[in-house]
Amino acid sequence: MLTALSIRDVVLIGRLDLHFGPGLTVLTGETGAGKSILLDGLGLALGARADAGLVRAGAAQATAVACFSPPAGHPVLALLAEQGLDGEEDLVLRRVLTADGRSRAFVNDQPVAVALLRRAGALLVEVQGQHEQMGLADPATQTALLDAYGVPPALGGETAGSWRSWRETEAALLGAREAIEAAEREEDWLRHAVEELDALAPEDGEEDRLAAERHRLQQAERGAEAIAAACAELAPRDRRGPGPAAALRAAARTLQRLVPREPSRADPPETSPAGTALAAIERAEEALSEAETLLSRLAEEAAADPRRLEQAEERLFALRAAARKHGVAVVELPALLASLRGRLAALETGAAAVVALEAAAAQARGAYIAAAAKLRESRRAAGARLERAVGRELAPLRLDKARFLCEVAPLEEAEWGPRGTDAVRFLITTNPGQEPGPLSRIASGGELSRLMLALKVVLASGSPVPTLVFDEVDSGVGGATAAAVGERLARVAGRLQVLVVTHSPQVAARGTAHLRVVKQATRGRASTAVEPLDAPARREEIARMLAGERITEAARAAADSLLAS
């Protein structure tokens, strides 16, 4: 419920702090005292539309703060949790409106959008006035109101669950159909791509293996070329000329003829200059022979297979070309092939899946329609009970010629939803022979306010909104009708917190708390104030409402009678 309201610099209100309790709180005061301004301040805190005209003259900004203590599990707590806002035991809605028309909104001192403040406010307070109807007159809420009044929650839950199952099955069916259509449109390309990749047969990790093998073969090829070049250097440069080995052998034969022709020398032949040269040539010949042998062996070992390198490169380049063609990495080719095979398989198995999903969707649709039909019958029965209950409240409120109707009308299939296949509308006729119409169109301001009161009396038990505000619901009535209005407001206040702006002493006498709105002048400037009334002051206020400016003892006695009753 609403526990406190603080207003700063709103029109005629400079500073105002009010506290509210449960039950029926009445606000009275002379015409023009500023009762509507008080409601404007509350509306500002609840996120209502506002313009710079609400800011008091000379002030930089207007501020309105409304404090609530919502019960556990109230929808506003779920709304705050959904928005990631911290929930507390007390809920504070604050709005700041600057003189240039800009505004800021806060929930528990956390900045929020004004739209969120408005959503939270609508869950906490419902305003019923002659010129503004919120809640009951809104067709969007009437289905929920009827369901809360007399429809078992299990029926609504079954219908909503059936709706979700049907929608999910329909979504799966649509996805299957779209997949088949897409596959059929590209069937030729799919088959060609699968054949091409099947022929290529890419393997996991193949690119790395081929790149390593290619590198190894290239290195081997370069080694073989170096060995072949070394061997070529040892071979005769001219086929008709001697090679290095033949030249060494010829030099050795020549030197061998020189060695025996020096008999006069005392040195052994091998120590003579010619012998030393011969020995060196013979060692060179042996070393050359060994080098040729080693090079021949290396050439045999390093002999590269040009075909193997060519095959590795062809395979590697083919894989990379296929990857470029399909816009993927080489490593992704095996997965791509599996995906393309699956899409082709969908052409063969997809038709059967679509048939199965069509059957499931038809079954889910049937289950939803059956659940919605049970919900419709329950709503019609609840609507008939609601009509009778509201009808009993109309005559005492001087609406004896009015007739309230609760229409449960079927919707077009495109409008079906989790709430069922029908829409609920509250209709009214205020005169015999008149065609029923929406509440806000048929009834006048005063009639509509009293009709809203009658509805609230009946629907109060199912209302999720803990605080109701009635603005001059008793306008244009008096006597027994005003007493009936007051009695019904008190009945509603037995279950919900009710604030009512009234000019009727019969209504004011029913209040559990009484606030008087007065206009006063301070230093030549008008301002609005609100005074909580104790028992004697309340007696005087009700007497004033009965007698006018001059309060008589008869008026006081009448006030005592009203308060006592």
- 336-360 pLDDT per residue, tens: 888 888 877 767 677 788 889 999 9
Buried b (16+ CB within 10 A) or exposed e, 408-443: beeeeeeebeebbbbbbbbbbbbeeeeeeeebeebb
pLDDT band at 431 (very low <50, low <70, confident <90, very high): confident
What are the C-alpha distances in Å from 291 to residues 231, 280, 284, 550? 9, 16, 10, 141
**Arithmetic mean of pLDDT, 54-79:** 91
Show the tokens assigned to 406: 């609760």
DSSP state of 187: H
Beta bridge partners of 521: 526
Least trusted range by pLDDT, from 104-108, 136-140, 153-157, 431-435: 136-140
Q: Looking at residues 480-502, what average pLDDT do you find?
A: 90
List pLDDT tens digits, range 260-304.
Answer: 555 555 455 556 676 787 778 778 777 777 777 776 777 665 555
Amino acid present at 558: A
Mean per-residue pLDDT, 37-60: 90
pLDDT band at 56 (very low <50, low <70, confident <90, very high): very high
The more confident residue out of 138 and 77 is 77
Can you give the pLDDT at residue 291? Answer: 75
Q: Which pLDDT belongs to residue 286?
A: 74
How far is 170 from 172, CA to CA, in rounded Å? 5
What is the rounded distance in angstroms from the CA atom of residue 62 to the CA atom of residue 9? Answer: 5
Tokens representing residue 77 in the block: 């707590």
pLDDT tens readout for residues 15-40: 999 999 999 999 998 888 888 888 89
**Better pLDDT: 544 or 238:** 544
Q: 524 or 300: whose pLDDT is higher?
A: 524
What is the predicted pLDDT for the residue at 137? 66
| Nearest alpha carbon to residue 453 among 514, 399, 408, 504 | 399
Q: Return the percentage of the chain with pLDDT > 90, whole number.
A: 36
Q: What is the pLDDT of residue 167?
A: 95
Contact 540, 518 (CB under 8 A): no
For 364-402, write each residue's pLDDT tens digit: 999 999 999 999 999 999 999 999 999 998 888 888 888
The pLDDT of residue 443: 59
Average pLDDT over residues 507-528: 88
CA distance 117 to 124: 11
**SS3 assignment for 392-436:** HHHHHHCCCCCEEEEEEEECCHHHCECCECEEEEEEEECCCCCCC
Q: Determine the average pLDDT of the residues in 408-427.
A: 93
Contact present, 277 and 293 (Cβ < 8 Å): no
Beta strand pairing call for 91-98 and 103-107 = antiparallel
pLDDT of residue 269: 54
CA dist 297 and 301 (Å) reads 6
Contact 62, 9 (CB under 8 A): yes
pLDDT in tens, 304-342: 566 777 777 788 888 888 888 888 888 888 888 888 888
Reported as a pLDDT band with limits 50, 70 and 90, residue 538 is: very high
* Residue-level pLDDT at 306: 66
Q: What are phi and psi of 226, to 5 degrees?
A: -65, -40
At 257, which amino acid appears?
R
| Whether the Cβ atoms of residue 409 and residue 422 lie closer than 8 Å to each other | yes
Whether the per-residue pLDDT at 466 is higher than 70: the answer is yes
Mean pLDDT of all residues in 477-493: 86
* Residue 386 contacts residue 149 (beta carbons within 8 Å): yes
More confident residue, 406 or 476: 406
Taking only the tens place, the pLDDT of each residue in 228-266 is 777 776 666 665 556 676 677 777 777 777 665 555 554
- The whole-chain average pLDDT of the chain stands at 84
| Structure confidence by residue, pLDDT tens digits, 170-206 | 999 998 888 878 777 777 787 888 888 888 888 887 8
Please determine, for residue 156, whether its predicted confidence score (pLDDT) is greater than 90: yes
Q: What is the pLDDT of residue 268?
A: 55
Confidence (pLDDT) at 305 = 63
**Which tokens go with 544?**
């004033």
Quick one: tokens of 555? 């008026």
Of 422, 366, 412, 420, the closest CA to residue 160 belongs to 420
Residues 501 and 475 sit within 8 Å (Cβ to Cβ): no
pLDDT at 50 over 70: yes
**Structure token pair of residue 353:** 């899946």
Task: Among 173-187, 281-295, 451-465, 505-519, name the most confident range.
Answer: 505-519
Res 440 pLDDT > 70: no
Phi, psi at 535, each rounded to 5°: -60, -50
| pLDDT above 70 coverage of the chain, percent | 87
pTM of the model: 0.65
The whole-number pLDDT of residue 62 equals 95
Tell me, what's the pLDDT at 85?
Answer: 84
Spatial CB neighbours of 38, under 8 Å, sequence gap ≥ 6: 7, 13, 16, 27, 501, 517, 528, 530
Could you give the CA distance from residue 150 to residue 168 in angstroms, rounded to a whole number?
Answer: 30
Burial 353-379 (b: 16+ CB within 10 A, else e): bbeebeebbeebbebbbebbeebbebb
Question: CA 7, CA 18: separation in Å to the nearest integer?
Answer: 9
